[in-house]
Amino acid sequence: MDLQRIVVAAERAWEGRPSRRNRTPKHFRIETYLAHGGPEGTVVRGRVLDNPLESEAEEDEGARAATRRTLGNFLTNELPGVPLRVTVAGTSVEVTTDREGYFLLRLPTDRAALTSPWTEGRVELVEAYRGIDPPRSATLQVRVPDASARFGLVSDVDDTVLVTGVQRVRQMLVQTFTGSALTRMPFPGVVELYQDLAAGVNPVFYVSSSPWNLHSFLVGFLKHRGLPLGPVLLRDLLGTREGREQKHERIREVLDLHPDLPFVLLGDSGEKDPQVYADIVREHPGRVLAVYIREVRLDPGDGRVEKVSDAWDHDVPFVLAADSDAVRRHARSIGLL
């Protein structure tokens, strides 16, 4: 049984406990994820839960406190069928949460009404739900690229920005459950590299195969380490085990919503980023300026990345980089810095 099956089985067992559908939620909470908006509208995601707010990470806390917080983010009491209204820049759309408590919608917002770099929106309960009455609401932050942006960045997170060790399952589990946004480490030089590539105006979109349960942790990590803040696009823990298609879809969403921007793609060699990015380059000619792959394989001679690079038939640079300095040198050579 692989890690994905273990995690999925654990969550399904949690969901299989006695039904709470008829109970009034004690900790009704609308959780919003960082959204993004552009010429083609605004995409908003979030979840409604019956869970108290998670505790804030503290510098001197132990592994036990961090583990409790992480487990709390996975052992969720999701609320399906919640009627919501989402409002951004004067445009409102109603939506209902799905069986996992998630909501996702695309608002036809006017780009001229969106404020860069961030526009604040609101998600609110429309009508009574299982004994919970309006008003219940949450604010929403929408990343809006500035007109002066030269390009956007699409970056993986685990083993690209955040030291995770995905190929070492035990190490990954220990770090994920016992670390916090304050203790987890970025790769050397990655903070300065991303700051320089973003240059204060170029938007960064973090697209990962991690579950939405880790959204607050990842946003806290980005803020604490000083990385450029941007939408963190994750996936449903109980979705398909074939995560590649999901990652394709989220990257396509970014490119489609911001058609006036070319993009730089950054990932790592540990999983499927090389093939995913190759597909994106092929599907979107003229939209990608460069592809950077951080070398993190336990066996660099396994040939997986080389299979992609040897078949590379595009004018777009494909760079397998040993570290952040190698990315910086190449990015400077082609005028990205």
Query: How do residues 151-189 score in pLDDT, each as one tens digit?
Result: 999 999 999 999 986 666 666 666 666 667 778 899 999
Q: What stretch of H or E contains 86?
A: strand 83-88
Q: What is the pLDDT of residue 221?
A: 95
Q: Could you report the per-residue pLDDT of 281-336, keeping only the tens digit for each?
A: 999 999 999 999 999 987 777 888 988 988 898 899 999 999 999 999 999 999 99
Q: What is the pLDDT of residue 148?
A: 96
Pairing of strands 41-50, 28-32: antiparallel
Structure tokens given for 139 = 């604010």
Q: What stretch of H or E contains 63?
A: helix 63-74
Spell out where 5-163 has E strands: 28-32, 35-38, 41-50, 83-88, 91-96, 102-107, 118-125, 137-143, 152-155
Q: What is the pLDDT of residue 142?
A: 98
Q: What is the pLDDT of residue 297?
A: 84
Q: What is the pLDDT of residue 245?
A: 44
Task: Give the C-alpha separation, 290 to 204, whole Å.
Answer: 15
Residue 179 · residue 66 · CB < 8 Å: yes
Q: What is the pLDDT of residue 184?
A: 87
The packing angle between helices 63-74 and 3-15, to 10°, is 70
Non-local CB neighbours of 119 within 8 Å, separated by 6+ positions: 37, 88, 89, 141, 142, 144
Q: Up-side HSE of residue 160: CA atoms within 13 Å toward CB? A: 28
The parts of the chain modelled with pLDDT lower than 70 are 1-22, 165-179, 238-245
Q: Which is nearest to 232 in space by CA: 43, 86, 4?
A: 43
Residue 194 · residue 160 · CB < 8 Å: no
Q: Which is nearest to 292 in space by CA: 274, 313, 276?
A: 274
Q: What is the pLDDT of residue 165?
A: 67
